[in-house]
Amino acid sequence: MGHFLTSLYWISYSLLFEPEKFAWLIPFSVVLIPALMSFFIGLFTIFISYFINKNGDRILICLIFASGWSVTELVRGHAIFDFPWNLLGYTGASFEYFSQIASIIGVRGMGFLIALAAVIPYTKKLSPILITYCCIGICFLYGYHRLTEQQAADVNDQIIKLRLVQPNFQQVHFGDEEKRLEFLLRLIEMSNENGYQDRDLTIWPESAYPFLINNNRGLFEVLGKVVKSDSALVFGADRYVDHLKKSYLFNSMISISKAGRLVDYYDKKILVPFGEYMPLRKFLPILKKVASGASDFSKGDAFSLLHVDQVGKVMPSICFEIAFDSLYNRELVKNALFILNITNDLWFGDSIGPYQHFTMSRIRAIEYGLPLVRVANTGISAVIDCYGRILSICELNAAVVEDFNLRVTRAFSIYTEYKLKMVILALIGLIMAIASVTFLLKVRKY
């Protein structure tokens, strides 16, 4: 409970943007969400204490603990609503060499190894301790080899001249027409700063375009001034669709070319619970979602690549979606130039939340073996290479226009190439099952 209180407190910050409506929910968000997360860890500790109280084989107990922890993280991230946040594996992201193992076993496998390394001294036996830390050492050696033996840049590699626009808007317009227009003009002004003629792609953050893209068509075409004939603009916007007498509102990533021509769009598929949709809305009509607007957003149809005029295809990820590993299959990954993550972390202020969000992006780059470009309203915007290393970064709460020439290189990822996510999860579950059965048989024997 203490862990989740101190690592998820930032969720309540979003309730302060309309305090007259939502301030009363702060005690619930500060306590209830950590309590829900803690519930699963509590069940896990009851489960593991059963084995400890039997005073059986300590090696088996450690294996049960590490695999059980990983299974618990999987359950707590999806059982009530999708929120796979603060996984143990992300603590390895700060270690450049160790984090490369994510290209084989992903963040879930990293979590298993870290949990095992943390508890293996409980065995008080030299051999399992040495074996475990040798495995950790091998991970570091693999990472060192992967980074030092990386493929040299090829003269034929595509270079994309990017312009990342981090406007640092500290207000939410909530339907204020004048404020919307002010935001849009400011974005255009920042995008047209010196050097824009040399850029291939300008990127704005999530929800940057403050109007429904179906309306104000003339205003939408003004955005064509941001790009020249051989460049493009990508930004986040709300997309409204009427279909078969039903209305749908999507949180979308939009790609346009010269003169504001719509080239392609991607509709966000994984929505933020309580922010973009209300879980159990039918059963709890008294509650409203935190984000402005009366209705829930709709889920996009499928994960797909976004075509960017004059550039190619990129892997789109809007805000929260970057927290989910292995959403894209290897066929789509092979056709993507880089991962493009746009977000708006304004809701969570100067807290630990945006930093947690950013850390997840680094692991995704390693898992997919692709560079990652992240553009956020208030930060943290960054360019990350296919090994999870930061090439360029814009600090939190700063208005920045960052130009970066991205060389499109990719690293081979066993994790993505062979679709290992389910294999890793199944293997962890199998370890827990075998260790548990073996332990119980030994206890019964004695």
**Single-letter code of the amino acid located at 108:** R
Instruction: Give the residue among 123, 61, 69, 62 at the shortest CA–CA distance from 91.
Output: 69
**Single-letter code of the amino acid located at 240:** Y
Contact 300, 332 (CB under 8 A): no
Backbone angles phi, psi at 109, to 5 degrees: -65, -35
Strands (E), 257-389: 262-267, 306-308, 312-318, 339-343, 372-376, 381-384
In the Cβ-directed half-sphere of 270, how many Cα atoms lie within 13 Å? 19
Report how far residue 267's alpha carbon sits from residue 263's, in angstroms, rounded to the nearest whole number.
14
**Hey, which residues are catalytic here?**
206, 268, 319
The position carrying tokens 């475990």 is: 132
CB neighbour list of residue 118: distance below 8 Å, 6 or more residues apart: none
Strands (E), 219-370: 232-243, 246-256, 262-267, 306-308, 312-318, 339-343
Task: Provide the 10 A C-beta neighbour count for residue 411.
Answer: 20
CB neighbour list of residue 255: distance below 8 Å, 6 or more residues apart: 232, 233, 234, 262, 263, 264, 265, 306, 307, 308, 309
**DSSP code at position 316:** E
> What sign does the dihedral 193-320-398-160 (CA atoms) show?
negative
Q: Look at the chain and count its residues.
A: 446
The position carrying tokens 């091998």 is: 138
Report how far residue 176's alpha carbon sits from residue 193's, in angstroms, rounded to the nearest whole number.
26
